[in-house]
Amino acid sequence: METIRVGIIGAGGIAQYGHLPAYQKIPGVEVAAVADINEKKSAYVAERFGIPQRFVDYREMLEKANIDAVSICTPNYLHREMSVNALNAGKHVLCEKPVAVTGEDAEAIVAAAEASGKVFMAAFCQRFTGASRVLKKFIEEGKLGDIYYAKGSYIRRRGIPGLGGWFTTKSLSGGGCMLDIGVHVLDRVYWLMGAPEPVAVSGAVYQAFRDNAVDGGWPPLETRIGDVFVGINDVEDMASGYVQFANGATLVLEASWAGNCEPNSYLQLFGTKAGALEDARGLRIFGEEAGSLLDIEPLVDKEINVYEAEIAHFIDCIREGKQPLTTAREIINVAKIIEAVYLSANQNGRQVEISEL
Ligand SMILES: NC(=O)c1ccc[n+]([C@@H]2O[C@H](COP(=O)([O-])OP(=O)(O)OC[C@H]3O[C@@H](n4cnc5c(N)ncnc54)[C@H](O)[C@@H]3O)[C@@H](O)[C@H]2O)c1
């Protein structure tokens, strides 16, 4: 088995908590280099994870380090440039969510991936939960029938990440809670629905905690070495969206970083044969059999480390030349739906046609 050599771009919270430990658990994978503009942090991370080479400029890493693949773990506005440059340099790419701030960014990345012939995967880790896997199987086997209505919600009560840093600065993040955590639930529901063609979207955004915002503790404090959080907070802390698809299905989305509410995450699917609900109580399927209404509670693996599963899948795709679970079309449409939520919200909730983007 040939060793796969990986470089990490951006050595912050998700690199330290998700990517680095996951790569280092896989036999035949070596994290060979790390690049971060914050030298203090890359020095700490290189030492802690035993990474032999470190760089300030990721382009130098792409040029000089002997690596086959990169993980992109930087602020969102950098994902397009870094993905395209890494793919053009012949590297396989795993890019953190949200892959792109706009549909156009996503299309540029996908075009670079197709031209390079390298693996490009979006780090949508929520597809790897035990419940996601079980539910996808139920759907693929036709147990839910046609899914015509869905809801997805990711609600935090006090969970604004990196207040005053890039997360809360629109020019660096691209947006607030909808882009940051709404994208997780959108991607998962959209994938479970079978990725129908989105047609129109309306949305609303709110910033109720502009003056009394509290930092929610992500990135973990011990990963913030050398980071400065004295900037602005100009992004939404609550957002909702309504998506219509060409097959007639609709989706209601909600995301909140902060709200006077019970923290809560769930997804719900209405199918012609059965429905599904996943929330804090677990996964349940609501069907009908032999003339009786029937609730099924599938036993799902709750111990899966989603980052380990996601990164093992990325490495598998590289080794076996497989198409990753996240397809180009899904990546583009997820980016377009969120772009359309923001566009609609900025135009008093006007319904935005996806074809306008
Ligand atoms: N999948 C998940 O569950 C999950 C969780 C958290 C974050 N994320 C995503 O991961 C990405 C990073 O988030 P984070 O929480 O780790 O943020 P972070 O601020 O902790 O880390 C970002 C790092 O990128 C570095 N960086 C900035 N500009 C750079 C450049 N030009 N070149 C090299 N490095 C640069 C910063 O110095 C910092 O160390 C974001 O896109 C975020 O949405 C995903």
Is residue 201 predicted with pLDDT exceeding 90? Answer: yes
Distance in Å, CA 218 to ligand 1 centroid = 11
Task: Give first-to-last CA distance, the chain, whole Å.
Answer: 45
HSE (side-chain half, CA atoms, 13 Å) at 163? 15
Mutating to test ligand 1, I would choose from 59, 74, 306 the residue with most ligand atoms within 8 A of its C-beta, which is 74
Distance in Å, CA 73 to ligand 1 centroid = 4
Beta-ladder partners of 94: 71, 121
pTM above 0.85, yes or no: yes
Q: Looking at ligand 1, which residue's alpha carbon is closest to its atom 40?
A: 75
C-beta separation of 178 from 241 below 8 A: yes
Per domain, the residue ranges of the chain are 4-124+307-324, 127-302+335-356
pLDDT tens readout for residues 49-70: 999 999 999 999 999 999 999 9
pLDDT tens readout for residues 156-174: 999 999 999 999 999 999 9
Domains 4-124+307-324 and 127-302+335-356 share a fold: no
Lining residues, ligand 1, CB within 6 Å? 9-15, 35-38, 41, 58, 73-76, 78, 96-97, 123, 125, 162, 180, 219, 223
Q: Looking at ligand 1, which residue's alpha carbon is closest to its atom 4?
A: 14
Q: Looking at ligand 1, which residue's alpha carbon is closest to its atom 7?
A: 14
Distance in Å, CA 247 to ligand 1 centroid = 36
Q: Does domain 127-302+335-356 have CATH number 3.30.360.10?
A: yes
Is residue 1 predicted with pLDDT exceeding 90? Answer: no
Distance in Å, CA 328 to ligand 1 centroid = 22
DSSP structural state of residue 89: T
C-beta separation of 74 from 123 below 8 A: no
pLDDT tens readout for residues 323-341: 999 999 999 999 999 999 9
For residue 48, give every residue at least 6 positions away whose Cβ sits within 8 Å of its Cβ, in sequence order, or none. Answer: 16
Report pLDDT for 316: 98
Quick one: which atom of ligand 1 is closest to the CA of 17?
Answer: 16
pLDDT tens readout for residues 217-238: 999 999 999 999 999 999 999 9
Q: Looking at ligand 1, which residue's alpha carbon is closest to its atom 27?
A: 74
134, 172, 206, 276, 333 from 137: Cα distances, Å: 5, 37, 36, 12, 22
Question: For residue 105, what are its two tokens?
Answer: 């960014």
Distance in Å, CA 219 to ligand 1 centroid = 9
Distance in Å, CA 13 to ligand 1 centroid = 7
CATH class of 4-124+307-324: alpha beta
pLDDT tens readout for residues 237-270: 999 999 999 999 999 999 999 999 999 999 999 9
**Average pLDDT value over all residues in the chain:** 98
Report pLDDT for 320: 97
C-beta separation of 35 from 57 below 8 A: yes
pLDDT tens readout for residues 123-165: 999 999 999 999 999 999 999 999 999 999 999 999 999 999 9
Distance in Å, CA 148 to ligand 1 centroid = 36
Distance in Å, CA 229 to ligand 1 centroid = 14
Mutating to test ligand 1, I would choose from 19, 36, 54 the residue with most ligand atoms within 8 A of its C-beta, which is 36
For residue 299, give every residue at least 6 positions away whose Cβ sits within 8 Å of its Cβ, in sequence order, or none. Answer: none
Instruction: List the Cα angle 168/170/172 in 5-degree steps.
Output: 90
DSSP structural state of residue 221: G
Percent of the chain with pLDDT over 90: 100
